[in-house]
Structure 1
Amino acid sequence: MTTADIPPAALRIDAMSALLARNWWAMALRGVAAVAFGLVALFAPGATMLSLIIVFAALMLADGVLNLIAGVRSARRHERWAMLILQGLASLVAAGVAIFLPGLTVLAFVYLIAAWAVVSGAFAIAAAVRLRGDHGRWWMGFGGFISVVWGVLLAIVPLVGALVLTWWIGAYAIVFGVTLLVLSYRLRARRLAAVPGATPHPA
């Protein structure tokens, strides 16, 4: 079989696989960074939450400035500008709150998740009431009940909820980082196997 007989999709997949194999080290670095972040989140949750707030503040600051610039340009062109200006100011206010009142930002984030859990749980319970028993009615109702209880507990003890959320983020980052490290090892072995005279699994 020649190259012309191979479907274009298969050629693209092979090219992508070769590209990943050549850059296995980048995947490994991402894995190490994710594991390191996960460990910091587990053992220093306060620092992790603070860093997330800083990232959020930077994002809101950039969004606000860009919206204000777009609003000013729209005003000069006699186009609709009020909504852009309002969005920019709202983003700047959110950035200021995140920078100067980080505790309030954490509480607002936790309360938002709590409200979502209560509302989504209530909808799940309402849907379970209308379902037949053989369609997973009780499981859906139980899941909705758990969601409502979790949302209420988050609202009652928001600081504990923020701590638990940080731990969940850390656990996810560690699992994701280990997965990337395993993938990078396999890509490195594939890369070495493709090089004549190389040892796929060095001691």
Structure 2
Amino acid sequence: MVGSGLIGASLNGDTVRPPQPVARAGTGPATPAAEVGTGDVDREPAGLPRSAPTTISIPRIGVDADIMALGTNPDGSVQVPPLDQALLAGWYEPGPSPGEVGNAVIVGHVDSAAIGPAVFFSLGALQPGDIITVRRLDGRSADFRVDSVSSHSKNAFPTEQVYGPNDQPGLRVITCGGQFDEATGDYLDNVIVFASLVR
């Protein structure tokens, strides 16, 4: 499967650049929080049953957004929310839902020429230990602790780490980042947050 190489938007030249993670390409997820926590609530959480996510909340960067379901494009790449809905996040529906065993994937735009900063503009500012809460259609919330945040060239997208198997409930949140290419109107990298269910 092709990675999320198309997430991003044309950037208005006057818009402030989004923050970038400290970790650079080639750095995979850190030890999951479920393995380093202290206390029973942080140890190897059991997966939840499947349920579509409805909203994502990331207090550190002020995100509280609705989530739409997405699939794949004809070329195998992951769909992204339409640019006219750049304040929405998108869940990769063919994969696990947030809280299920496996890696749930949520994507979103970093900015758009029409509105400026979009839903995940500040994603690169997240740090290990930050909490991401995903509310689900079944009324439950799944809380994830950030393990690592890194930037990867779209030409070297870590497909296995994002979409590959995981015997614990994980979350991958993805947007664009790195250098902005004025010629193509797109960013050259993806910012990826790796997180693990904590309760």
| TM-score, normalising length: structure 2 | 0.21
Which structure: greater strand fraction? 2
Which structure: greater helix fraction? 1
